[in-house]
Chain A
């Protein structure tokens, strides 16, 4: 779960990391009064609180020089949104004079299975870009999860960034704090980019925290009810599927996909592409799905407007072919065959499954490529 910038900055503040003075406003607030109450006045930075990538480039971060400027920018952000996502809140902050922009983050490194601190003097641009353009400018510090992050390690990292004196010790404290947030909040990522170097210290101009979804039960204070709906992190259909307990990702094609297992479902999407089609979604019914679950999944693809045809690709292992077939038949007999359905069944009880399907007038394929081809053909051209 990604935190909004203002939430991440609240976390930073509570841990003593300096952030710019700012105020969070909603559409109904009087912005002038809200700012005045905090002793703020233009010039200020207006930042849309959305979780879409490339927010800055998409017009989600703007400087307001005057009060009129501010009201116009705020109105604009609230009504037009950023990449189609309308922010519920804006964060309005003081401008912080600074000499340089650094990058600092803590991530989980998959290869070493350790926390990894990344730091660079090339702050202000995406770390992906730094990695591509100037990989030597990224300094890495691997941390033993049992020993933790020791001060000398952070100082060594700070020296590589060219810091000295008071700034070096400030950097040490900041890095240690960031690491503490990372472990305490079960974070996958804690990032400050840019980290401003000012005349008297370091200020986090932006803040990014991603919390491990599997650990949210330990952080119920942050994962409040309805939090996901507000985030803009998931599309309407993804939220709907989540509510039904299905792993679903919205894509841009028109062949609806249902598979069992993440790998097979992805492979099914790839098959559709190979046959000249485009997958409309990823939908994994998981292992050992019951007929009821298959029915729910099929109903979802019926409703989901992007799917023009539906390709169900099942390899029966723990999942049983006859259960899958029963689920399909149940949905079809209740709701009709609203969209063309192509089924490919293999593995455990595939033969029994096929018999059930055929009795209901649904063709089950053996060959996945042939089935994919048929599904692409039935979807026709992607227009919506």
Chain B
């Protein structure tokens, strides 16, 4: 199994003719991801790395009705429009790579998707990969191998780092999901955990959080309530981050007394989660749980 993306995933790339869109289309194709079409308004009829380009998502779907997933590389000002278009065309999973989308736009877009039953991953996400099956994102493929550990994370690079270390000691991954670094995102930790709880392939979860918001605390509460029963290893970045300052990600800010390191770590430990002191300790803890 795996969650969100697997060998049945058929992808439309929105913004395929742009620099990022085209570059990562090539990398995804090399990984074996089934990309059936690309969309860039006004560029219908073109081709990018052998992928046909259409003016609209609807046009793409008319020719490729098997498409079920979209990945969005459209610049921030136009990205919400692309996402609404995908939702209205009936795409079930939309992965939004774009960073710097105004947060009010994201909020409306995420609520709209929820009402229509579409899952949004991101914005400001590296995407999602089920190693050996499908990669819908911008992560470096070499870091990942198939196996029993799911990773959900708010950070890109840190996720690659942890996955690479797991792979190095022979522990592969079922699905690795970047939920995005913005304050408002689509699929969050607890929603992903609901999917992972039911995923047979996933035996253990690695949760990589950071300061800001209360997503980690809500994940801890879910574990405490017994709604997620698999072992969890966590790491939280930002122990040394001062309050009121944005640490790179728009969402990584301790504000209104919420979202500091201690509150997250304490909540997770209370729920019985093994919290690593550094990201480089995660692999060791995972190994311990799996043996």
Contact = CB atoms under 8 A, between A and B. Distances in A.
Interface string B224-248: 0000000000010111111011111
B67 interface: no
Contacts of A260: 157
B247 A262 contact: yes
Contacts of A179: none
Given A318-B138, A347-B164, A188 B158 contact: no
A217 B258 CA distance: 28
A264 B103 contact: no
Interface residues of A, number: 58
Interface in A122-165: 126-128, 131-132, 144-146
Contact of A274 (B112, B159, B237, B277): B277
Contacts of B215: 110-111
B103 A269 contact: no
Interface string B25-40: 0000000000000000
Contacts of A214: 76, 100-103, 250
B146 interface: no
Interface class of chain A by DSSP:
mixed
- Sorting the interface of chain B by its residue count into under 10, 10 to 19, 20 to 34 or 35 or more gives 35 or more
Given A262-B248, A287-B156, 4 more contacts: A127-B257, A131-B256, A183-B104, A269-B240
8 contacts: A53-B244, A111-B214, A214-B102, A249-B242, A249-B246, A269-B238, A287-B156, A347-B161
Contacts of B273: none
Closest 6 CB pairs of A and B: A263-B155, A261-B157, A262-B248, A128-B257, A263-B158, A215-B102
A317 interface: yes
A146 B215 CA distance: 24
B186 to A, nearest CB: 8
Given A264-B161, A282-B241, A113 B184 contact: yes
A262 B155 contact: yes
B252 A266 contact: yes
B211 A263 contact: no
B249 interface: yes
Most chain B C-beta atoms within 10 Å of own C-beta, residue among A107, A113, A127, A368: A113
Contact of A317 (B101, B105, B156, B246): B156
